[in-house]
Structure 1
C-alpha cells in the first residue's frame, strides 16, 4: 500500500559519480527527510518502488558555511540514505516515480 507519508520520507534520488558507482553494488542513494528513521526509509522504498530492501545506512551532512558577495550564509543540513537491495532487485532512478 502506498501511503502519502512515503512520499514525504523520500525527498529525491542522488545522482552523483559516487552514487552511480554504488549502483553497481546493488545500492541506491536517496536524500531523505531529516526526521526519517531507518525502518521508515525501508518501508517507503519497498512501497514506492516494489523492491525488497536488504539494509539501510544513513548519514547526515552538516550544512557548510559559504560566502556570497561577502555575506556569510549557511547551507542546510541534509540526510542521505544508502539503500542496499536484495539480489536481483534494481531501481532506475533516472525515470522517476
Structure 2
C-alpha cells in the first residue's frame, strides 16, 4: 500500500515548469511505486484523478569523490497529466 511518503519530491526544472503549464506534473518517487498506487495517492490526498500517468525508471549516477566511486540512489519519475481545468494549489510555483 503506497502513501504520500513514497513521493520524494516534485521536480522543478525548466522543462518541468513548461510541462506544468500544459497540466503535467513531474513527481519523483521511490522505485517501488506503481502507476495505480500513484493514482490512488493523488485521489486520496489531492482529490484529483489523473487523466494519464507515464513512468520512467531513473538509474542513479555514478560519481567519484576523492578517487572513490559512489552511486546515487535510483528513483522512479512519473509524468502525471491532470484533467482539464484541475490544479493543485500547493504545487504551484
- Specify the TM-score bucket, using the shorter chain as the normaliser: 0.7 to 0.9
Normalising by structure 2, we get a TM-score of: 0.87
The alignment status of 1:32 with 2:29, answered yes or no, reads yes
Note the alpha carbon deviations across 1:44-90, whole angstroms, 9 max, x for none.
01211122310111101111111112211111111011100000001
CA distance in 2 between counterparts of 1:74 and 1:32 reads 18
Normalising by structure 1, we get a TM-score of: 0.84
Gaps of 5+ in 1: none
Cα offset for 1:12? Answer: 1.6
Gaps of 5+ in 2: none
CA distance in 2 between counterparts of 1:12 and 1:49 reads 15
SS of equivalent to 1:58: strand
Contact 1:9 1:44 in 2 (8 A): no
Q: How many residues align?
A: 92
SS of equivalent to 2:19: helix
Aligned-residue CA RMSD (Å):
1.8
CA distance in 2 between counterparts of 1:15 and 1:47 reads 23
Q: Which residue in 2 is equivalent to 1:57?
A: 54
Contact 1:27 1:82 in 2 (8 A): yes
CA distance in 2 between counterparts of 1:80 and 1:67 reads 24
